[in-house]
Structure formats: structure tokens, C-alpha cells
Structure 1
């Protein structure tokens, strides 16, 4: 049990809330088991901190008659005090950097770069051939192994790191060997990303999540690592979420196979899983769109620039209004939630139609930097006239 002699801290209150939520969970589920273990670990951590505080509050003094055992105890107590102070400082820093309002991206020299992570292109050919024939030929010509699958009367090929229309045209030109039907070329899936280079703290992932603008039908907000079929909700406490992210967890929004999917994480490896040099590490915010959405945008490959820009519209950020009440600002500072989720459209006090919560607004400065990065990328996808 936690010590009840002192007022409950925010962390204790959040633990109680998590315990209360378990009343609505199947006690035989894997999530129930994992959550109880996580809560037990957090209680143990809080008890350890409480014990350390008790020890370090005692007066520490020694003289010429201090025994070696007493001196060892004093030294150990001093170590605990400094360790506790360092831990407290780390936690304060994490909370600060978990808030988007703590960032001046220009002043902090955090660079934002837009990229097209991958796109899937549907195509048809006139010659009789198999998927294996196409894969083999492309590997011989490009020295790159491609993912290709059959689809209806054609095929779908996945292209990674195609950051210009020229690089796409170069790659698909090899398909002319099989009699490529150019009119058939269409985008069936696209994943775009904003990369934040030179980040100061991994808690930027938390800050971006809290500020990300999302549609009101967003669901399945979670953290995940390597498990498949395991749902782990995003912790409310920024300190706990930070420890999960440090342990390799990512943030996912919507099911990965949904028409629209968001993904936030620290990128430290390339597409083949090979470690990147540390100067290329970055915080990444990804948006994935699939064919059901793309087909409504006229997803022919010739329209790739427009499709790209539409896909990037899903990566915009919000912030708390300056005139928001103090309680809202404190809540935003201390808890992790998707504060940028839109509501059903409503009229505000000025009779303007709004979707964002009343004390949330678009983050103009950050979105300007994002749009500049997106436009720099989009210039590379203009078809030559």
C-alpha cells in the first residue's frame, strides 16, 4: 500500500484511476494482466521514492568520532539524495518537453523535412508474364528487391524513398520491358512523413501526439512495440509514456490496415532495419492513406503531386489558446491525451463554424514550418511541361 499520511500526488491519483478502469476490463484478458503488472511496478517505484525521501530528510552530520559504518550510511544517504534530485530533474525536463508550447523550433535549431516514405503503384502490362518474372527483372536492373503482388488484372509494386517524379519514372521505366500500359498507373497506397532532425528530447513524440490534429472518428490510440494483436492504451502520465518510448514503443492511431493511419516514433534504422548514424536519427510523424481514400482524390499517377499534398494535410498541429483557463493549461501540461481530435462541427461564441475543442487552436508557427518542408518536397513532383 502507498503511504496514506500525505495528500495524494497526481501520480497516485492517476494510478487509482487506472485501477478503477480495470473494473470494466475482462479479468482474464492479456491486457488486464499487463496493466496490473504495470500498475504494480509503478506502485513499487513510488514506494521507493517515498523511502528515499524519508532517508534523505534526516540531518546528515559527522565528526572525528563518526564510525566507518555511520560514515558509509551518510555517504549512501547523500548518494540517494543526489540520485533523487537527478531523477526529479529528469522528470521535470520530460514534462516540459512533452508540451508543444515548450518548443521554438527555429531557435532550438530543430529542422523539419518532409519525405515520401513509400507508395504503392498499380500497373498492367501487355506481355504475358508472372509476378516472379517482373521481380527478377527489376532486381537484375536496379540491384533492389521489390515487393510486388498480383491485383485484379495487374500488379502492385511498392517503391521506397521516391522523393521526386524523376526517380519514380526511372524505376517504372523498367516495366516497359513487359509492355507497360501507362494509362493503368495508379497510386493505391501512400505513406508520407515529417522528420524532426536535431530534436533535444525524445519527449517531442509526446508533444506532437498531444497536438496532432485528428478527425473525430479516430480510434485505436495505442502504444505498441513488436506484439501483434495486443492493445496497450497510451499512458496518461508523460513520465510513464516517456519510459515506454525509451524502451522502443511507438504511438499508433487507427488500425494499421485502416484507410487512414498515423504513426509517431523515433527513427533510428533504415527501411532494411540497419542502424542509422546518430546524426540521422529523428522523430517521425507518419500519415498513411490507402486506396479507398486515394481513389476519391483521382489517384492516377499523373496526379501524384496533388495526392501527395492531400496526404500531408493529415499532418497538422494544434495548441492551447493563450486565453484558455488555467485549469485547461495545467491539464494539458500534466496529462497525455489527443487534444487535437476534432468534434462534430459546432458554432462558437462568434457564430463561426468550428471542429476543434473550444480552447484548442491551430499551431500557426509549427504548421508554417511543416508546410514549407512539404512544399519543398512537392516541387520535385511537378511533371515536366
Structure 2
């Protein structure tokens, strides 16, 4: 028995209409009155258009294709070029206003404005202690371990570095010296225990911290503007982290990539000469991650040996030694009268523009910098104030 599917009148009408149209088309086609239809690949290709955004659950391959397509758009390429130009301009130290009176009441009522602030610290110092020959060590063959134990017990240093350089001479490191009182107490304990013949500071590292200024461009701005004197044994620019040191790229855009990767800028030689500088974004302390609100940009100057000795490096002279060491951190800037060519060179290149050289100015006077580089008086005053505030505690 044949079973027929029921169709409504409307459905039957649509089927009959479609059948009639198909028969008419086939009749015309077979009659030869119509040219042969042309079918192209575009007519039958199944379009597989990429999504416009990367979304959760998307395959890794598709996500990469989306990002590649996005990055290759001409508008995006041009935007990246313009962004790089702006970032290069930001390596001019004049772009950063560090005046403490910075305030905007209209913005403050809607946003929490973290003001740029500057602080000075003694990062660490190395003491050379010449112990009295009358002193009796518990472990005569390992006297440095006796000193380590003493530093721990007395709370001077929980993880002490002690190096024996001769029979009765040792090197001791003190970190994060925050006040003169704390430092004097440490010296008194050492003198009471060891009755040293002499106590000298052989290495001193002081630092300037810039809070709420984490832009990579600011690190390059500091490097380009810092005044470099003949005290530096080697003024090659280096960029480094755990994988070793490399020569700093000369272009601002390439140098910025290294800075954004968390690398440190080094000026001078780490072991030769009396002075060297490091500039980096500090996110760790003693190997541990710092809370985000303690992240800051830091510039360190390490002074040692003959340079410290010339300042009078007796251990009791720390305030003077710190003050003189901080004075070695001075900054320059591009003059307002610099030509367009000089301005473009300053902003796009990574060099030690603050390096002192002997030149003859336009007025026929001998200068330590070219005419388009001058001392950054305002910036130096802000630094000096931070140093003065810190040394009040000594």
C-alpha cells in the first residue's frame, strides 16, 4: 500500500511553483536560447573568514592567524610606527616633571593620583676591619666564621658577608643603612668586641629611588641625561640580566625592548675604576618579589677604593662619604635652543649625551658639553632635596 505524506495547501502551492520554475529554466536551457552560464571559483569557494577578535575557546592556530592578520593591517603598522616615535620622544628627561608641588584638584576628586616622589638611600657599604692582634678567635683557622656568628647574634646582619683579606684584616658588608644611630650602634659593637686598629669604608653604594615612575622611557631618559665624568674607567653602555651583558642598542626603539624585558642599564666598569652606575626598575629585594606598591625606578652609584679614600674613608665619616657620593649623580638636558636636527638625534638615539668632553663653544669658550647640552638645574635640585632629607638622620 502506498503511503502519501500530507501537505497543506500552502506547502503544495510552493512545491508546484518551484517545480514550474525549474521546468521553465530547463526548457530554456535545452532550447539553446541562453548562453552557457559561467561559474567561477569565487562562486563555489566556501569562505572561511577569520574572526575579528580572539575569544576564549578559540584554537591556538586560529588565534595566531587573527593576531597576524591584525598586526599586518596598514593602519595598525602606521599606528605602531607613530607609537614608537612618541616613545622615543619620551626618552627626553624634560618630559618628566618631578616637582613636588604637582597637584590637580579637579582630577583628584575623581581619581587617586600617585604623585612622583624621590627618596635617597644607602644601599650597602663594605667595611674593612683590622682586628687587634691580641684578639683570641674561637676558631683560629676560620676566624671569618667567628665574625659571621657575631654579626648574626648582634643583629647587625642576618646573612653576613665576611671575607678575610689578610691574617687580621676582614671585609664586612652592611645593607640598608637607614640612620646614623643604627650605623653607630653597629660600629660600637664591632669596636667593643674586636678593638680594631682601623675601620674603613672601602665601597659605598648609594641610590636614588623614583616612585610612581615605572615607564621604560624614564630609564633611558635617566641614562641619556646622567653626567659622566672622567672618573669612569669605561663609559661603554651595557644592558644586562641573568644571561650576561650586551652592548646597548643605539636606537631608542631597540633599546626600549630590552628595558621592557626588565634588563638593567650599566654605565662604567663593575670591577675596574672607582665609579659605576646601574639604572633599573626594582621589583625584587634580596631575591624576593616586592609588593607592587614598592616597585620603583632606581639609579645606583657605586663608589670605591681610591675615590672613597680621597674623601676620607674612616668609618665614622659615613655622612660625608654618602653626601659626596650622591653629588656624583648629576643630570643634564637638551637646551631649548637646540636645532631640529640636534633634537631629533637626542630623542631617537641612545647615547651618553651627558658625558663630559672638552669642546669650544660658539662663544669661543671651553665647555665640558656641546652647546645643545646643559646642566639640568631643576632636576638636580629635586635630587639634592631628597638627599638632604635622608642625611638628616645621620
Which band: TM-score by shorter chain? 0.7 to 0.9
Indicate conservation of the 8 Å contact 2:361/2:370, yes or no: no
Q: Cα deviation per residue 1:213-234 (whole Å; 9 max; x = unaligned)?
A: 0014542321111235xx5211
Q: Per the alignment, in what secondary structure is the counterpart of residue 94 of structure 2?
A: helix
Equivalent position of 1:138 in the other structure: 151
Equivalent position of 1:244 in the other structure: 258
Say yes or no: does 1:72 pair with 2:50.
yes
**Where is the helix percentage greater, Structure 1 or Structure 2?**
1
| Pair 1:74–1:263, CA change in 2 (3 A) | closer
Distance (Å, rounded) in 2 between the aligned partners of 1:267 and 1:68: 54
Distance (Å, rounded) in 2 between the aligned partners of 1:110 and 1:306: 28
Q: TM-score, normalised by structure 1?
A: 0.74
Correspondence list, 1:124-273, <5 A: 124-126=130-132, 127-129=135-137, 130-142=143-155, 144-152=158-166, 153-181=168-196, 184-216=198-230, 218-228=234-244, 231-258=245-272, 259-270=274-285, 272-273=286-287
Distance (Å, rounded) in 2 between the aligned partners of 1:350 and 1:79: 51
Equivalent position of 1:111 in the other structure: 117
Cα offset for 1:135? 0.5
Correspondence list, 1:1-385, <5 A: 69=47, 71-72=49-50, 80-81=72-73, 84=77, 87-88=80-81, 90-106=83-99, 107=102, 109-126=115-132, 127-129=135-137, 130-142=143-155, 144-152=158-166, 153-181=168-196, 184-216=198-230, 218-228=234-244, 231-258=245-272, 259-270=274-285, 272-344=286-358, 346-350=359-363, 352-381=365-394
Distance (Å, rounded) in 2 between the aligned partners of 1:320 and 1:109: 25
Q: Cα deviation per residue 1:328-349 (whole Å; 9 max; x = unaligned)?
A: 01111111111000003x5534
Indicate conservation of the 8 Å contact 2:214/2:296, yes or no: no
Q: Cα deviation per residue 1:193-242 (whole Å; 9 max; x = unaligned)?
A: 111110151221111001010014542321111235xx521111212111
| Pair 1:68–1:292, CA change in 2 (3 A) | farther
Indicate conservation of the 8 Å contact 2:202/2:305, yes or no: yes
| Pair 1:69–1:160, CA change in 2 (3 A) | same
Q: Per the alignment, in what secondary structure is the counterpart of residue 203 of structure 1?
A: helix
Distance (Å, rounded) in 2 between the aligned partners of 1:219 and 1:141: 41
Q: Per the alignment, in what secondary structure is the counterpart of residue 278 of structure 2?
A: strand
Q: TM-score, normalised by structure 2?
A: 0.73
Indicate conservation of the 8 Å contact 2:362/2:371, yes or no: no
Cα offset for 1:163? 2.1
Indicate conservation of the 8 Å contact 1:123/1:180, yes or no: no
Indicate conservation of the 8 Å contact 1:138/1:174, yes or no: no
Q: Per the alignment, in what secondary structure is the counterpart of residue 204 of structure 1?
A: helix
Distance (Å, rounded) in 1 between the aligned partners of 2:51 and 2:296: 44
Q: Per the alignment, in what secondary structure is the counterpart of residue 151 of structure 2?
A: helix
Equivalent position of 1:45 in the other structure: none
Cα offset for 1:94? 2.2
Indicate conservation of the 8 Å contact 2:227/2:355, yes or no: yes
Distance (Å, rounded) in 1 between the aligned partners of 2:203 and 2:52: 63
Indicate conservation of the 8 Å contact 2:127/2:199, yes or no: yes
- Taking only aligned residues, the RMSD between alpha carbons, in angstroms, comes to 2.6
Q: Per the alignment, in what secondary structure is the counterpart of residue 307 of structure 1?
A: helix
What runs of 5+ residues in structure 2 fail to find an aligned partner? 1-42, 54-65, 103-113, 138-142
